[in-house]
Amino acid sequence: HVRSRRQRQMCIRDRVSIANNHKFHLLEPFGEEIIKKLKHDFPFKKIRLRIAKQKILPDADQVGIILER
């Protein structure tokens, strides 16, 4: 778990920056980039990252993946 409010804000800012500065067509490369940045900023042994795109298929509210390292 991210320990402080400031650390959470930094994580959110970094994810938004990654999303805005790259043209990801698939969730997997986007998730890998987020994990790479988090691992650089916070030492961890395990991570589980869930990502979803909203309303991209007509019969689904969202489509997502879970990355575990």
pLDDT value of residue 66: 95
Tell me which amino acid residue 59 is.
D
Question: Could you tell me which residue, 23 or 2, shows the higher pLDDT?
Answer: 23
- CA dist 29 → 7, 38, 67 (Å): 23, 14, 11
- Closest of 47, 50, 10 to residue 27, by C-alpha: 50
- Closest of 11, 20, 64, 3 to residue 39, by C-alpha: 11
**Confidence grade of residue 65 (pLDDT, cut at 50, 70, 90):** very high
Read off the pLDDT of residues 5-47 as tens digits, 9 standing for 90 and up: 777 667 767 777 877 777 778 889 989 988 888 888 878 899 8
Phi, psi of 5 (to 5 degrees): -60, -40
Per-residue pLDDT at 3 exceeds 70: no
Q: Which residues pair with 63 in a beta bridge?
A: 53
